[in-house]
Amino acid sequence: MSTITLASKRRRAALRTVAFMSPWLIGFAVFFAYPLISTVYFSFMHYDGFRPPTWSGTKNWTYVFKDYPFFWPALRNTLWLVLVMVSLRVVFGLGVGLLITKIKTGTGVFRTLFYLPYLAPPVAATMAFAFLLNPGTGPVNSILDRIGIPAPGWFNDPAWSKPALTLLALWGVGDLMVIFMAALLDVPQEQYEAAELDGASAWQRFRYVTLPNISPIILFAVVTGVIQTMQYYTQPLIAGKVASGVIQGAGTQFEPGYPEKSTLTLPQLVYNLGFQRFDYGSACVVALVLFALSMAFTAFLMRRRGGLNLAGD
Amino acid sequence: MTQVLDKPLELRAPVSPAERTARRKAVLEWIAIHSLGVAAALFFTLPFVFVLLTSLMSDTQALSRDLIPHTWEWGNYKKVFDTPGFLTWWKNTLIYAGLGTVLTVVSSIPVAYALAKFRFRGRNLSLMLVISMMMLPPQVVIIPMYLFWAKQLDLSGTLWPLIIPMAFGDAFSIFLLRQFLMTIPNEYLDAAKVDGCGDLRALLKVVLPMARPGIAAVALFQFFYAWNDYFGPQIYASENPGAWTLSYGLESFKGAHHTDWNLTMAATVLVMAPVILVFFFAQKAFVEGVTLTGVKG
């Protein structure tokens, strides 16, 4: 054993690292790097999946940005969802997190009840809400009618479809509740006691003790919320499909974004262009827009040092 | 409030007015907080309750505005199971979620271990790439991936294009496991090395038993991911109903029974129930996983 040189020791260590990392190294190359480069390639090609791809220059790009009627509505919806849905979810999640730390009786039961909706499969949860909020016979509108509040059309009204999706997102706030709960319990108790001695009101204690202590988690919740919104697919798609009464099956074409493009999101466009219109090139253009947006937010999330420390070094 | 009971009643000192208002305030606060709690609990549970009630209504009542069933139609659930394909969707979902979970866990552990415990050039870059992959919407690479699986390997109409990639590590699982392995002190590994353990032995004999809660969290997340996945089966399995999963089939179920809210809601209950059941048996692991991904490394 004494003949082992430093160089061979290093080589062995490197080999060991590669061996342990190999599943991911292969996965990264085959399921990430290769398809990402292909997406860039196809975005400049005309390809319908049957005839071989032909060079089309920037045609797909101008088509998506200028002539494809769904692109800008989808981007506008994303902006709406980021501003309204994400911020309401963070505020509500923080509120429920605060509430659960204050509840002293039956804490476990309350926490479980608040958390359960987060676990509901998105398709099932959306179908449930499409039923609960359907304007004709849905329980919510039945109750609103009985107590004399004018009931909205929810998923059938373009002005109400995104608020309805927001309600569904607030129902599933359990993940944020758990994260905020953990952060709130980590705030040093002495700071509250000191503030109380100084005569700080409840609001002042929240503003000057709680908020600064949990601000990294709030930032984390906002940025991951934005990234999730970039991927928002199943809920708006199912809500639109169920509300429009479309019957799935061979030959039925679903006009995405029902009602009036109000539930369109970018991921739906990739599906619409690629798998319904067989315009793979244009679908890749939207995919790249999605990529750029997601990576911008991810970079922002990772660049925050100190409080967040996602890499944990 | 507990101090009140410290002494027998007759020996209690007279309560000063200031103390009395403080106590009254505490009671009022308790009432306010718990009323809010009950209101929130109603918001979170009533949707489940209404779905459950509707699933037990008769066909005609489900189309009315009634909230509570006149007759309790438990047969609705039998009708759902009798729907052609429903049992096949169960089988497919279990294969996709079960096999996928095993493959993910087995392939992600060594990667997470290397990222947590080995020092090597490019470690931070690798970690950043893992996080980037985790944040990437699946739609970004779906076109070339679909063309690869469907046109080159002729595997469309099956769930294999979704299962096979899980044998090559999953970014989210790697990240979560790595966060967990970081919390295991290096001293344990050093001790194992001194005892003559190689890296693989140290991982299997020392680290894995200690990492059991982290592995449980990853397995649960991955199982739920596959159970809930709609986009994957829509891309690869839509053309072949024999390969549909519950999440994908449920939506088409609504299409086939598009006026039968009662049957649709019974099917919805049946898709939600296993997830909630699994949660009750593994609550701790799940909550631990959520905090691990969210809070810090």
Q: Give the containing element (helix H, strand E) for A228.
A: helix A211-230
Q: Which residues of B touch A27 (CB under 8 A)?
A: 107, 165, 168-169
State what percent of residues in chain B have pLDDT above 70: 94
Q: How far apart are CA B115 and CA B120, in angstroms?
A: 9
The answer, yes or no, to whether residue B25 has pLDDT greater than 80, is: yes
Contact A32 B110 (CB under 8 A): no
Q: Give the containing element (helix H, strand E) for B181.
A: helix B171-182
Tokens 């980021």 appear where? A82
Contact B111, B236 (CB under 8 A): no
Contact B54 A309 (CB under 8 A): no
Over residues A162-178, the pLDDT tens digits come to 999 999 999 999 999 99
> How long, in residues, is chain A?
313
Cα distances (Å, whole numbers) of residue B39 to A113, A211, B32:
12, 25, 11
Tokens of B53: 């009630």
Nearest chain A residue to B278 by CA: give it: A119
Cα distances (Å, whole numbers) of residue B130 to A187, B123, B172:
30, 11, 8
Mean pLDDT of the B132-143 span: 94
Q: How far apart are CA B110 and CA A25, in angstroms?
A: 12
Over residues A289-298, the pLDDT tens digits come to 999 999 998 8
Q: Which residues of A touch B110 (CB under 8 A)?
A: 19-21, 23
Over residues A177-201, the pLDDT tens digits come to 999 999 999 999 999 999 999 999 9
Distance from CA of B78 to the nearest CA of A (A): 19
Q: What secondary structure letter does DSSP report for A254?
A: P
Among B140, B193, B262, the strongest candidate for a mutation testing the A interface, having the largest count of A CBs within 10 A, is B140
Q: Which residue has the higher pLDDT, A19 or A248?
A: A19
Nearest chain B residue to A291 by CA: give it: B140
Instruction: Name the residue among A36, A112, A249 with its Cβ closest to that of B255.
Output: A249
Distance from CA of B76 to the nearest CA of A (A): 17
Predicted TM-score (pTM) of this structure:
0.91
Q: How far apart are CA B192 and CA B196, in angstroms?
A: 7
State what percent of residues in chain B have pLDDT above 90: 60
Q: Which residues of B touch A13 (CB under 8 A)?
A: 118, 120
Instruction: Name the residue among A99, A103, A121 with its Cβ closest to that of B271.
Output: A121
Distance from CA of A159 to the nearest CA of B (A): 23
To the nearest whole number, what is the mean pLDDT of chain A?
91
Give all strands (DSSP E) within B58-198, no chain letters.
Answer: none
Q: How far apart are CA B201 and CA A79, in angstroms?
A: 51
Identity of the residue numbered A63 = Y
Over residues A235-262, the pLDDT tens digits come to 999 999 888 876 554 445 677 898 999 9
Contact B210, B109 (CB under 8 A): no
Those residues whose C-beta lies under 8 Å from the C-beta of residue A170, and which sit 6 or more positions away, are A88, A89, A92
Distance from CA of B59 to the nearest CA of A (A): 13
Distance from CA of B8 to the nearest CA of A (A): 25
For A104, phi and psi rounded to 5 degrees?
A: -110, -15
Q: How far apart are CA A161 and CA A31, in angstroms?
A: 35
Over residues A26-79, the pLDDT tens digits come to 999 999 999 999 999 999 999 998 899 999 999 999 999 999 999 999 999 999
Nearest chain B residue to A117 by CA: give it: B44
Q: How far apart are CA B269 and CA A120, in angstroms?
A: 10
A-B CB pairs within 8 A amount to 278
Instruction: Name the residue among B48, B62, B114 with its Cβ closest to that of A17.
Output: B114
* Buried/exposed code over A211-229 (b: 16+ C-beta within 10 A; e: otherwise): eebbebbbbbbbbbbbbbb
CA–CA–CA angle A127, A132, A138 (5° rounding): 125
The answer, yes or no, to whether residue A221 has pLDDT greater than 90, is: yes
Cα distances (Å, whole numbers) of residue B85 to A238, B91, B237, B256:
20, 10, 14, 12
Q: H helices then E strands: how many in chain A?
A: 16, 2
A234: burial class by Cβ within 10 Å (0-12, 13-18, 19+)? buried
A128: burial class by Cβ within 10 Å (0-12, 13-18, 19+)? buried
Among A9, A10, A21, A98, the strongest candidate for a mutation testing the B interface, having the largest count of B CBs within 10 A, is A21
